[in-house]
């Protein structure tokens, strides 16, 4: 299964934001330069600047210029949720039209209801999952290297 299919429910921007926040969660505490974040997460540096700007504007990361500067999380990774990160840079798509093409129905058709319930469950799961939860190696050791991405066809 291709990566783009797996993550179809969230945008590339949201995926990049999650990569960056997980990486900063692994680095925990100190400021990390944008180039180091881009290299570790394989996010294009210019696009990463946009993503980090959005996360900064929402208070998820903070930035510092100059020597020793860069980006860091504003809170512990166990208090920042996946939902907060995703909503800082994008929205989670909700269905606005009936997928079966019914123009007017007083209550949602079965397929529309199923899809709407699924979207709600995704939002709930994202709201219950922290950045810390996305760092599985934390439980194995005190050191965690960000996984290198591979280009899959």
How many Å apart are CA 92 and CA 114, to the nearest integer?
16
DSSP 8-state symbol, 80: S
How many Å apart are CA 42 and CA 24, to the nearest integer?
14
Burial grade of 84 (CB within 10 A; 0-12, 13-18, 19 or more): buried
Q: Residue 127 above 90 pLDDT?
A: yes
What is the pLDDT averaged over residues 97-126?
Answer: 80
- Its CATH architecture, for the domain 9-139, is Orthogonal Bundle (1.10)
Q: Which residue has the higher pLDDT, 135 or 61?
A: 61
Structure tokens at 34: 């944008």
Domain residue spans in the chain?
9-139
Give the per-residue pLDDT at 144.
59
How many Å apart are CA 123 and CA 25, to the nearest integer?
21
Q: Model pTM? A: 0.81
């Amino acid at each position: 299964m291709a990566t783009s299919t797996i993550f179809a429910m969230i945008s590339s921007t949201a995926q990049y934001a999650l990569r960056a926040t997980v990486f900063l969660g692994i680095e925990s505490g100190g400021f990390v330069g944008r180039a180091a974040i881009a290299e570790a997460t394989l996010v294009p540096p210019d696009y990463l600047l946009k993503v980090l700007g959005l996360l900064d504007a929402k208070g998820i990361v903070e930035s510092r210029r100059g020597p020793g500067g860069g980006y860091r999380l504003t809170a512990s990774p166990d208090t920042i949720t996946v939902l907060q990160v995703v909503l800082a840079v994008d929205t989670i798509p909700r269905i606005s039209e009936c997928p079966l093409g019914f123009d007017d129905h007083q209550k949602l058709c079965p397929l529309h209801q199923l899809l709407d319930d699924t979207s709600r469950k995704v939002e709930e799961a994202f709201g219950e999952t922290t950045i810390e939860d996305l760092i599985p190696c934390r439980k194995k050791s005190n050191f965690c290297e960000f996984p290198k991405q591979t280009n899959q066809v």
